[in-house]
């Protein structure tokens, strides 16, 4: 098992190193073959590893000790359990599909060798994170995916918007990572180790312990620790208010959007919270914060997808919303439901991004949906697979998203965590919003009148097999994986002790004896089904039957529309209060601190005082002998007088 886990991680790293060091000599074909073979090997090994886990095998062991400080070892090791094995398979499968797809998408790009090296390195960093058995290795993988995502988002570095988006993603994630590393420091302080096993064993002893924050304020250690670690998850998984980097990251190549925003980087925060479930079940206040922030993200970020006109941005806002669903499920202590939705979302969201990339290629890199329409007859394979992804996203009964999303909503409704009722209402409203922006996108792109120019229309055709084959491969699990995993993940004992079971009311208890078929039949009684149909009806009315209606509506709600187009002005606030405030503070520190205090008082001030003192002393040097004699006599008189007074 140890060697299996090691090669799952090392295979993509090997491809990245060879490509990075010798890719220019290997050429495109060999680079493509090398990276795809290594990722395929990693995927096969991950599948074998999952089979061993299902057979009862487990692994929690160090690979080597990096260093020992103060008697405490800092190690690199692997934890292979149902949670990490399942996510490792999902990551490698989606990465494999993206690698194959990138052959066609990046065919004309002069930097495609560098691109393949980056995505292989990204896969390695994500696997290192998922399979870590300690916080040190988790942090290395965490920062690794952040670094490579910066390189991938800014891959087309000649575009100012791409470099700005990459920098924005990097800086926003640094804010989250500050909380994350403080949380890890608290773990080390109170557990005396960075090992998961040691920390989880120590958690019950820390329950009820408080820490002073100053000014007479005290907070429970586990609550503060959980909130700090969640700040890191907020940055990676783009939760309000640290969500602003993700829509702008669409500046990177479309395969990166699928890789980063489907099964990998953005789900790292979800994985973190799930992995730390033994901590969070003892920190109910932290759970309430996660629950509320997740539900707010799901609803308000979904609304932004209704007004977006860039096809990739619509899917990006959808990712934000679905990440909110996952976080809400974790906050409701339905940890298995949150991970289940992570898995299904990985397939249908990667499918939607790659389908959007196929459309963009056919449209000669046009991304504005207002210039599309009627593409279903030109791109039949793309349309069919995109439709599967869209139906899974809106949780249409029978598709994978239905089983995970509706189960998650039901679990939140049954959760005893404070704030669950509020979150349940927002998640139900988000079902309507999701259906509205999804079918709006589908109708604007593939249905209705053709709005592209004549030249584009003449060259519309389906993409090569390297583009369409990954779409088909992702459409299959987007359709079927919910049926397969529903009972094992929600009703069975698939995760075992990998996810903690909350004391008291278990929000997933009702799924213990519920089959996928029974849950499918219950869809027609669920309010979410009719909210989804309402979203479909509104989208069809506005973008198929009455296409003039959206324009009239926008004219009537212009202020609200402006608010949504500007993304609730989060960017403006950060720009004017955060960035501009930092610049203003820097200028003040420069003027008052550097120029006036350090230079004026310290450096130049010291020199001027010495010069003044020298000028004063120089006046005593007159050159007259009688003045020197008078001075000595006067000084002698003063000394004698002082001695007489003293003694």
Residues 589 and 489 in one domain: no
Residues 384 and 495 in one domain: yes
The model's pLDDT over 538-590, given as tens digits with 9 standing for 90+, comes to 999 988 888 888 888 888 888 898 898 888 888 888 888 777 777 888 887 87
| Res 577: pLDDT | 79
More confidently predicted of 609 and 154: 154
| Res 436: pLDDT | 94
Residues 477 and 604 in one domain: no
Give one DSSP letter per residue of 366-435, joined into a string. Answer: --BGGG---GGGT-HHHHHHHHHHHHHHTT-TTSHHHHHHHHHHHHHHH--STTHHHHHHHHHHHHHHHH
CA angle 35, 41, 47 (to 5 degrees): 135
Residues 589 and 557 in one domain: no
Share of the chain above pLDDT 90, in %: 45
The model's pLDDT over 15-31, given as tens digits with 9 standing for 90+, comes to 999 998 887 888 888 98
The model's pLDDT over 311-337, given as tens digits with 9 standing for 90+, comes to 999 999 999 999 999 999 999 999 999
The verdict on residue 350 lying in a domain is: yes
Residues 512 and 633 in one domain: no
pLDDT category at 137 given cuts 50, 70, 90 is very high
- Tell me the mean pLDDT in the region 41-51: 94
- Tell me the mean pLDDT in the region 265-285: 90
The verdict on residue 156 lying in a domain is: no
| Res 647: pLDDT | 67
Residues 624 and 638 in one domain: yes
Residues 596 and 488 in one domain: no
The model's pLDDT over 77-135, given as tens digits with 9 standing for 90+, comes to 999 999 999 999 999 999 999 999 888 888 888 888 899 999 999 999 999 999 999 99
The pLDDT mean for the chain works out to: 88
More confidently predicted of 399 and 68: 399
Helix (H, G, I), strand (E, B), or coil: what is residue 211?
A: strand
Task: Tell me the range of 303-307, 465-469, 581-585 where mean pLDDT is highest.
Answer: 303-307
The model's pLDDT over 96-111, given as tens digits with 9 standing for 90+, comes to 999 998 888 888 888 8
Q: Cα(478)–Cα(521) distance, rounded to whole angstroms?
A: 19
Among 65-79, 268-282, 551-565, where is mean pLDDT lowest?
65-79
The DSSP call for residue 216 is T
The model's pLDDT over 169-200, given as tens digits with 9 standing for 90+, comes to 888 888 899 999 999 999 999 988 889 999 99
Among 69-73, 140-144, 563-567, where is mean pLDDT lowest?
69-73
Q: Cα(205)–Cα(30) distance, rounded to whole angstroms?
A: 55
Q: Cα(33)–Cα(15) distance, rounded to whole angstroms?
A: 10
Dihedral sign computed on CA atoms, order 360, 363, 368, 372: negative
* 487 neighbors 72 (Cβ within 8 angstroms): no
Task: Single out the residue in 565, 588, 612 at which a domain terminates.
Answer: 565
Residues 560 and 586 in one domain: no
Q: Cα(143)–Cα(452) distance, rounded to whole angstroms?
A: 42
Residues 411 and 525 in one domain: yes
Query: Does the structure show a pLDDT above 80 at 224?
Result: yes
Task: Single out the residue in 565, 583, 609 at which a domain terminates.
Answer: 565
The verdict on residue 331 lying in a domain is: yes
* 390 neighbors 399 (Cβ within 8 angstroms): no
Residue partners of 465: CB distance under 8 A and separation at least 6? none
Residues 425 and 561 in one domain: yes
Residues 642 and 531 in one domain: no
Q: How many structural domains compose the chain?
A: 2
What are the start-end ranges of the H helices in 332-379?
335-362
Query: Does the structure show a pLDDT above 90 at 622?
Result: no
Domain carrying residue 576: 570-646
Q: Cα(491)–Cα(511) distance, rounded to whole angstroms?
A: 5
Among 262-266, 426-430, 444-448, where is mean pLDDT lowest?
262-266
The verdict on residue 590 lying in a domain is: yes
| Res 262: pLDDT | 67
Half-sphere exposure of 303 (CA within 13 A, CB side): 17
pLDDT category at 643 given cuts 50, 70, 90 is confident
Query: Does the structure show a pLDDT above 70 at 244?
Result: yes
Task: Single out the residue in 565, 581, 596 at which a domain terminates.
Answer: 565
| Res 340: pLDDT | 93
CA distance readout (Å), 597 to 20, 73, 603, 607, 610: 49, 45, 9, 14, 17
Give one DSSP letter per residue of 584-617, joined into a string. Answer: HHHHHIIIIIIIIIIIIIIIHHHHHHHHHHHHHH
């Amino acid at each position: 098992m140890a060697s299996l886990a090691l090669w799952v991680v090392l295979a993509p790293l090997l491809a990245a190193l060879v490509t990075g060091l010798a890719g220019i000599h290997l050429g495109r074909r060999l680079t493509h073959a090398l990276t795809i073979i290594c990722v395929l090997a990693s995927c096969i090994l991950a599948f074998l590893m999952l089979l061993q886990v299902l057979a009862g095998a487990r692994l929690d062991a160090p690979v080597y000790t990096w260093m020992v400080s103060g008697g405490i070892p800092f190690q690199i090791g692997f934890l292979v359990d149902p949670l990490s094995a399942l996510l490792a398979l999902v990551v490698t499968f989606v990465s494999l599909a993206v690698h194959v797809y990138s052959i066609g998408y990046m065919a004309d790009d002069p930097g495609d060798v560098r691109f393949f090296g980056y995505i292989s390195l990204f896969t390695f960093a994500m696997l290192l994170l998922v399979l870590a058995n300690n916080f040190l290795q988790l942090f290395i993988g965490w920062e690794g995916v952040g670094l490579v995502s910066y390189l991938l988002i800014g891959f087309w570095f000649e575009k100012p918007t791409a470099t700005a988006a990459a920098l924005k993603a990097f800086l926003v994630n640094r804010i989250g990572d500050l909380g994350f590393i403080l949380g890890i420091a608290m773990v080390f302080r109170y557990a005396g180790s960075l090992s998961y096993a040691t920390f989880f064993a120590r958690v019950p002893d820390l329950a009820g312990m408080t820490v002073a924050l100053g000014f007479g304020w005290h907070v429970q250690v586990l609550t503060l620790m959980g909130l700090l670690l969640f700040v890191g998850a907020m940055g990676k998984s783009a939760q309000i208010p640290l969500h602003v980097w993700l829509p702008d990251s669409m500046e990177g190549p479309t395969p990166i959007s699928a890789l980063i925003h489907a099964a990998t980087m953005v789900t790292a925060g979800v994985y973190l919270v799930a992995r730390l479930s033994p901590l969070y079940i003892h920190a109910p206040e932290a759970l309430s914060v996660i629950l509320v922030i997740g539900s707010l993200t799901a609803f308000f970020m979904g609304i932004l997808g209704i007004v977006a006109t860039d096809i990739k941005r619509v899917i990006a806002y959808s990712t934000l919303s679905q990440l909110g669903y996952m976080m809400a499920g974790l906050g409701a202590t339905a940890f298995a439901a949150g991970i289940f939705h992570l898995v299904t979302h990985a397939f249908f969201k990667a499918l939607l991004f790659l389908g959007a990339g196929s459309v963009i290629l056919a449209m000669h890199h046009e991304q504005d949906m207002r210039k599309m329409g009627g593409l279903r007859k030109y791109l039949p394979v793309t349309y069919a697979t995109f439709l599967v992804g869209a139906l899974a996203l809106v949780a249409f009964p029978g598709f994978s998203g239905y089983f995970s999303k509706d189960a998650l909503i039901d679990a939140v409704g049954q959760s005893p965590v404070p704030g669950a009722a509020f979150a349940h209402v927002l998640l139900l409203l988000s079902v309507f919003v999701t259906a509205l922006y999804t079918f709006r996108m589908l109708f604007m792109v593939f249905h209705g009148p053709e709005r592209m120019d004549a030249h584009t229309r003449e060259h519309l055709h389906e993409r090569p097999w390297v583009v369409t084959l990954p779409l088909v491969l992702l459409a299959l699990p987007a359709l079927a994986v919910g049926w397969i995993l529903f009972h094992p993940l929600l009703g069975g004992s698939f995760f075992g002790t990998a996810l903690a079971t909350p004391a008291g009311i278990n929000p997933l208890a009702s799924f213990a004896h519920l089959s996928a078929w029974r849950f499918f039949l219950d869809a027609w009684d669920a309010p979410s089904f009719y909210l989804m149909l309402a979203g479909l009806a509104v989208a069809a009315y506005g973008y198929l039957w009455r296409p003039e209606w959206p324009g009239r509506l926008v004219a009537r709600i212009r202020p609200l529309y402006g608010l949504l187009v500007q993304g609730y002005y989060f960017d403006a606030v950060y720009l004017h209060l955060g960035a501009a405030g930092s610049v203003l503070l820097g200028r003040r520190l420069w003027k008052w601190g550097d120029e006036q205090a350090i230079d004026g008082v310290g450096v130049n001030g010291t020199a001027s005082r010495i010069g003044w003192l020298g000028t004063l002393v120089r006046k005593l040097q007159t050159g007259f002998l009688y003045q020197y004699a008078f001075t000595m006599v006067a000084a002698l008189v003063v000394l004698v007088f002082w001695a007489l007074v003293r003694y």
